[in-house]
Amino acid sequence: MLIDTAVIPVAGLGTRLLTLTKNNPKEMVPIFAKSFNEITLRPLIEQIFVQLYDSGIRNFFFIVGKNKRSIEDHFTPEINYQGLKKKDQNYIDLLKDFYDKIEKSNIVWINQNSPRGFGAAVLNAKEVVGSKSFIVHAGDAFVRNNNKHIKKLIKTFEKNKPEIIFYVKEIEKPKTYGIVKIKKINSHNFKIVDIEEKPKKPKSNLAVMPIYIFKPSIFNVLLKTKPGVGKEIQLTDAIQKMIKDKKNVEAIKFLGKNDCIDIGTPENYYLATCISYKDSIGKKKNR
């Protein structure tokens, strides 16, 4: 079961990062990375794309909305490499590597007129995804840059063949996340027995991290899902419906506290930049 398709919702408004996000997508905020023996800054959405590409993904469906044109522009190759000189060869190589990945990929931009929830964003990809199983990766989820998380998710999905699989991690404020109740399968793999978006009385401190693999059956469930928290179509509500229908829904737990960070608040974005910089310095020292 080859997983080569990803749906990447980037249509959110980013209100918690105003005024930075008034005319700039939060997915374009810079993150430190180590590339060609240089510590560089790259947009978060580029890092997500590269991580997915290096894990075998070749079909990318971006769900975009208002003020997201700069993302599409960033994924448009420039032949002159922005006027870089020969002395800037490392940066030329960095751009060339990024552009080569773009040229070898099928990238489709799907417009969402107004944000109606994460579930509605995923549903926009129904016709282009078709009958394939596919990854969903939120465009504002920073994951430490080692690519193991996506490959591990794919490997577990191919082995266990669940209807849905996604990442979870322990958090301190469960009332602001989608929260799961689990049954242990092994040391890192869990069966989901309940999921609820932003619960008033959380059943655990295990929060859903927005990196999933779905079988295409999720689309028909989303079509029937009514607006939930925030009067939006919640992906968690569709997942809960599948759990009630006795479908196999699994999760993998992030072991590190900061392995995955939602950069949607100033505090979390600061944390992501600090971690990405320390990781880049560490890689440089180890070379």
- Tens-digit pLDDT profile for residues 9-18: 997 777 888 8
Write out the two tokens for 254. Answer: 């992030």
Write out the two tokens for 137. Answer: 């990766």
Cα–Cα distance for residue pair 205/267, rounded to 1 Å = 20
How would residue 83 be classed by pLDDT, with cut points 50, 70 and 90?
A: low
How many domains, in total, are found in the chain? 1
Please check whether residue 41 is in contact with residue 32, taking contact to mean a CB–CB distance below 8 angstroms: yes
pTM for the model = 0.92
Shortest CA distance to 32 belongs to which of 285, 283, 267?
283
Please check whether residue 239 is in contact with residue 250, taking contact to mean a CB–CB distance below 8 angstroms: no
pLDDT at 72 over 70: yes
Give the domain CATH number at 282.
Answer: 3.90.550.10
pLDDT at 197: 92
Q: What is the mean pLDDT of residues 1-5?
A: 87
Question: What three-state secondary structure class fits 228?
Answer: coil
pLDDT at 287: 36
Cα–Cα distance for residue pair 4/15, rounded to 1 Å = 32
Shortest CA distance to 12 belongs to which of 135, 109, 118, 111?
118
Q: If you average pLDDT over every residue of the chain, what do you get?
A: 90
Shortest CA distance to 245 belongs to which of 215, 267, 274, 268?
215
pLDDT at 285: 44
Write out the two tokens for 119. Answer: 């579930």
Provide the phi-psi class of 57: left if phi over 0, else alpha when psi is between -120 and 50, else beta.
beta
Contacts of 34 (CB under 8 A, 6+ apart): 40, 145, 279, 280, 283, 284
How would residue 131 be classed by pLDDT, with cut points 50, 70 and 90?
A: very high
Q: What is the mean pLDDT of residues 213-217?
A: 98
Residue range of the domain that includes 125: 5-286
Please check whether residue 3 is in contact with residue 133, taking contact to mean a CB–CB distance below 8 angstroms: yes
More confident of the two residues 212 and 203: 212
Q: What is the mean pLDDT of residues 192-209?
A: 93
pLDDT at 211 over 90: yes
Cα–Cα distance for residue pair 12/264, rounded to 1 Å = 10
More confident of the two residues 257 and 248: 248
Strands 249-253 and 178-184: unpaired
The radius of gyration of the chain's CA atoms, rounded to the nearest angstrom, is 19
For the ranges 183-197, 213-227, 229-243, the lowest mean pLDDT is seen at 183-197
The percent of residues above 90 in pLDDT, for the chain, comes to 67
